[in-house]
Structure 1
Amino acid sequence: MKKSVFSEDYRCFLKLLREVRERAGLTQEQLAECLETTQSIISKCERGERRLDIVELRAWCQAIGISLPVFITEFEQALNERG
């Protein structure tokens, strides 16, 4: 069995990262343009191939139109719902 380098919490984080982008109606390409990066970087972050630090996460949230505290609250709720 292949062992994952990601915890279930991190998988939940990645899922939420994509969900909030999609809820905002943004494609990966549009988000990349807002962040002055490439669609490939956005894709790698959403797949977990590249980790975001807190400064980058804040920039993502601003580009998406959600505050960092709201994102963190949603993340905590998703973790709690997962059990």
Structure 2
Amino acid sequence: MPRSRQSRYSSEYRLLLERLVALRGDESQTLVAERMGTSQSMLSKLERGVVRMDLSDLLSYLDAIGKDPLEFITDYLHAINWRPTRRKPAAAPRSK
């Protein structure tokens, strides 16, 4: 199945959430949620995968826990052994 079609419960997504929670460490959900500008209950839903985390959420989360997004994403991509798929270039539009 293409990576973009996988469920939010895929092993790769679960690993993403587990790594985020591990990075949060001893900081409370309440404190991190406050820094993110959201509620503790919403943060809990994000961390448990009940609500899918989008890129904006991810960046806000990493900022709230003081982690570098580029470093996190690079480490995560290595952890899941991600490799770009080869795609054919899009066809140029035909001129009339």
Aligning the two structures, in what range does the TM-score lie when normalised by the shorter sequence?
Answer: 0.7 to 0.9
1:7–1:30 CA distance, 2 compared to 1 (3 A): same
Distance in 1 (alpha carbons) for counterparts of 2:79 and 2:28: 22
TM-score (ref. length: structure 1) = 0.80
Residue 44 of structure 1 is matched in structure 2 by 45
More helix by share: 1
Consecutive aligned runs of 4 or more in structure 1 exceeding 6 Å deviation: none
Instruction: Give the counterpart letter for 2:65 in structure 1.
Output: I
Q: Say which one has the larger Rg.
A: 2
Cα distance change, pair 5–67 in 1 and its aligned pair in 2 (3 A):
closer
Change (3 A) 1:36 1:75: same
Alignment of 1:45-64 (within 5 A): 45-64=46-65
Deviations 1:14-52 (A, max 9, x none): 101101111xx4111110111121110111011000111
Q: Distance in 2 between matches of 1:50 and 1:8?
A: 16
Provide the aligned length of Structure 1 versus Structure 2: 75
CA distance in 2, matches of 1:14, 1:35: 16
CA distance in 2, matches of 1:44, 1:26: 17
Asked which structure has the greater RCO (Cα within 8 Å, sep 6+), the reply is: 1
Between the aligned residues of both structures, percent identity stands at 39
Partner residue, 1:9: 12
| TM-score when normalising by structure 2 | 0.70
Unaligned runs of 5+ in 1: none
> Are 2:85 and 1:75 equivalent residues in the alignment?
no
Name the Cα RMSD after superposition. Answer: 1.6
Instruction: Tell me how far apart the structure 1 counterparts of residues 8 and 69 of structure 2 sit (CA, whole Å).
Output: 25
